[in-house]
Structure 1
Amino acid sequence: MNVIDPIILFFLLGLVAGLLRSELRLPAAIYEFVSILLLLAIGLKGGVELAKQPFADLLPDMLAVVAMGFFLTLLAFPVLRFVGRFKRADAASIAAHYGSVSVGTYAVAVAYFGSRQITFEEHMPLLLVMLEIPAILVGIVLARGVSRQTRWSEVAHEVFLGKGIVLLVGGLLIGWAAGSDGLASIKPLFFDLFKGILALFLLEMGLLTATQMGGLRRYGLFLVVFGVGMPLCSSLVGIGLGLALGLSVGGTAMLATLAASASYIAVPAAMRISVPEANPTLSLGASLGVTFPFNVLVGIPIYYALAVWAHTFVGG
């Protein structure tokens, strides 16, 4: 019998509690601490495996993922602008969210694959970092064009020195430098407690998701349809790229998950600085109110099933 993963139940608990307007809240300091642990754990795991592989072998994957980030943002923008009829700034902002990546969704996928003994390429955290950046740059250009008024120094600071990127890259470098043996003393905190940390993170994400439901009610069905349809479409791009790069079934499914996820941390912060006229309720309502729960509850198994089918079809 298939049992629902307890980390999903934590997300549902937060979602239901938020919708019922419960007083349940994760203290801000605790949420900050949990987020830091989660980001560092993902980086450390990737860094350990990164040390085992020559950098030159990873370069094609890195460049391909950057190209995918550009492509997905450019794919989403005309749909939002001309079908959804959003203002240019709002369409660009939402498109940037969907061209980027969700660390939370990646963490859930890691737990999902791990519980089912599904292996995937261990340099995925590196690809996760690479996918954060191009969508932000494209989103800003789509919204504002290239002009002297664009505060590129502030954008670069937010993109490259934002908390998420610093922690992920820092974890990668520490894991790469220390190796598995060097990290043995901190393994109980960052590795053994990973799912417990993730459970608390998802509890808070459920509460945050509930706060975005009002925006969805105000702005109609389009964001709901887009918030489900875009990830499904993006996952096919990720699967195609995974096949082209020769990734394993698990790696292809993970790349599809990265492609299908939508940012709710790095991109909102960058858009707030560079495109302040964009309405954050729209982008967060779609990415956090629709896409994140869709991916966590049903999307990841769908992407894995599609990856299995694609490898079977190509191999057969």
Structure 2
Amino acid sequence: MHIFDSLVGNLMVPTILFFVLGLLAAAVRSDLSIPEGAAKILSLYLLLAIGFKGGHSLAANGLGADVFSALAAGLLLSFAIPFIAYALLRAMTRLNALNAAAVAGHYGSISIVTFVAASSLLDLAGFASDGFMVAVAAMMEVPAILSALWIAQRTATPGGAGRVPMRELFANGSIVLLTGAFVIGALTQDKGMEMIAPFVVTPFTGILCLFLLDMGLAAGRSLLRNRHLLSAGMFAFGLLMPVIGAMLAMGLGAVVGLQTGSLFLLMVLAASASYIAVPAAMKIALPQAEAGIYLTLSLGVTFPFNITVGLPLYLWLAGLV
């Protein structure tokens, strides 16, 4: 009963409930929507705020062995998870090698929106985390793409795998803004935080609620539109893989000595699936792969699972460690 109460308590926060509202609105085919331009502004704000606060926190705590250990753990997870995801997909579904490789790359990379939601949940639950976890998030975007392309080149039919220019990967807008704001927060330190705290701290949770409402609408509508592409095995994979990623991160994070808040964030990063950076990369590198499959799995299945069930579960598990 204590476990259930803990999970429900972590679930009953405005950010998660607004996401659920978006899912429900999509399910009943409501015309509720947030204009595309406004949604873009909300996402830019969230990336700027989480990056700046992370850089400020890192500057306050300094660089140490724990920073490099966390970065190494994140890189290892991002490289390794696509291989596990690929093996599971081939065992659980009828996806061919090319599509399985494309899907696998999404699960080694990260969803920055899930990370932002997790950071907010952490604050509401009263846990602290290390600022360098923002740097870990940024570094986990690319390795999974490289792993997926290697798998595709080794297993898929010739010509199915291409090469993504590294400039396009590192010039991804979300990565540029997140890392740039992180560096600015680290350079300006307390003076910078004092200047823009009313912008990046006070309205953060309210703006995140609006953004997650929009993401709930998008995830629900994607699932309704593409549900014919999902087999039972693929749907099961979309629920199982994030838990496997979180458990791997929990073990590795405990080994490198991460505290509860940072361990939770590493678990979230390993559990999340990209639906922005990796789809853009796969469209260039693996144009023959079915976008409807990997987008529906990452955005329509895994993202809602993580936001509604995964985050409370991972926070509870991190508390046990």
TM beyond 0.5: yes
Report deviation, 1:186. 1.7
Please tell me whether the aligned partners of residues 144 and 275 of structure 1 are also in contact (alpha carbons under 8 angstroms). Answer: no
Are residue 92 (structure 1) and residue 101 (structure 2) matched?
A: yes
Q: CA RMSD in A?
A: 2.0
What secondary structure sits across from 1:189 in the alignment? helix
- Deviation digits for residues 239-262 of structure 1 (CA, Å, limit 9, x no counterpart): 011111101122212211111111
CA distance in 1, matches of 2:149, 2:199: 38
Amino acid at match of 1:305: W
Residue in structure 2 matched with residue 259 of structure 1 by the alignment: 270
- Deviation digits for residues 87-140 of structure 1 (CA, Å, limit 9, x no counterpart): 222101110111111111111111111111012222111110011110011112
Task: Give the direction of change, closer, same or farther, for the CA distance of 1:150–1:234 in structure 2 (3 Å limit).
Answer: closer
Residue in structure 1 matched with residue 32 of structure 2 by the alignment: 24
Please tell me whether the aligned partners of residues 160 and 286 of structure 2 are also in contact (alpha carbons under 8 angstroms). Answer: no
Report deviation, 1:55. 5.9
CA distance in 2, matches of 1:173, 1:250: 22
Amino acid at match of 2:185: G
Q: Which runs of 5+ in 1 are unaligned?
A: 312-316
Task: Give the direction of change, closer, same or farther, for the CA distance of 1:229–1:151 in structure 2 (3 Å limit).
Answer: closer
Report deviation, 1:16. 1.6
Please tell me whether the aligned partners of residues 109 and 257 of structure 1 are also in contact (alpha carbons under 8 angstroms). Answer: yes
What secondary structure sits across from 2:140 in the alignment? helix
CA distance in 1, matches of 2:134, 2:292: 28
Counterparts in 2 of 1:210-229, with a 5 A limit? Answer: 210-213=220-223, 214-229=225-240
Report deviation, 1:185. 2.0
Residue in structure 2 matched with residue 192 of structure 1 by the alignment: 202
Task: Give the direction of change, closer, same or farther, for the CA distance of 1:144–1:178 in structure 2 (3 Å limit).
Answer: same
Task: Give the direction of change, closer, same or farther, for the CA distance of 1:148–1:288 in structure 2 (3 Å limit).
Answer: closer
Residue in structure 1 matched with residue 56 of structure 2 by the alignment: 48
Amino acid at match of 2:261: G
- Deviation digits for residues 214-268 of structure 1 (CA, Å, limit 9, x no counterpart): 3234322122211111111111101011111101122212211111111111111
Amino acid at match of 2:150: V
CA distance in 1, matches of 2:301, 2:260: 26
Report deviation, 1:85. 2.4
Amino acid at match of 2:221: T
Residue in structure 1 matched with residue 79 of structure 2 by the alignment: 70
Residue in structure 2 matched with residue 102 of structure 1 by the alignment: 111
Residue in structure 1 matched with residue 215 of structure 2 by the alignment: 205
Report deviation, 1:150. 6.5
Report deviation, 1:291. 1.1
Report deviation, 1:306. 1.7
Are residue 36 (structure 1) and residue 44 (structure 2) matched?
A: yes
Amino acid at match of 1:199: C
78-87 vs 198-207, which moves further: 78-87
Residue in structure 2 matched with residue 248 of structure 1 by the alignment: 259
Report deviation, 1:148. 9.9
Residue in structure 2 matched with residue 157 of structure 1 by the alignment: 167
Residue in structure 2 matched with residue 278 of structure 1 by the alignment: 289
Q: Which runs of 5+ in 2 are unaligned?
A: none
Task: Give the direction of change, closer, same or farther, for the CA distance of 1:235–1:57 in structure 2 (3 Å limit).
Answer: closer
- Deviation digits for residues 280-304 of structure 1 (CA, Å, limit 9, x no counterpart): 1111111111111111111111112
Aligned residues: 309
Amino acid at match of 2:24: V
Please tell me whether the aligned partners of residues 160 and 288 of structure 2 are also in contact (alpha carbons under 8 angstroms). Answer: no
What secondary structure sits across from 2:274 in the alignment? coil
Please tell me whether the aligned partners of residues 47 and 171 of structure 1 are also in contact (alpha carbons under 8 angstroms). Answer: yes
Please tell me whether the aligned partners of residues 22 and 214 of structure 2 are also in contact (alpha carbons under 8 angstroms). Answer: yes
- Deviation digits for residues 71-93 of structure 1 (CA, Å, limit 9, x no counterpart): 11111011112431212221011
Residue in structure 1 matched with residue 124 of structure 2 by the alignment: 115
Counterparts in 2 of 1:117-136, with a 5 A limit? Answer: 117-136=126-145
Report deviation, 1:211. 2.1
TM-score, normalization by structure 2: 0.90
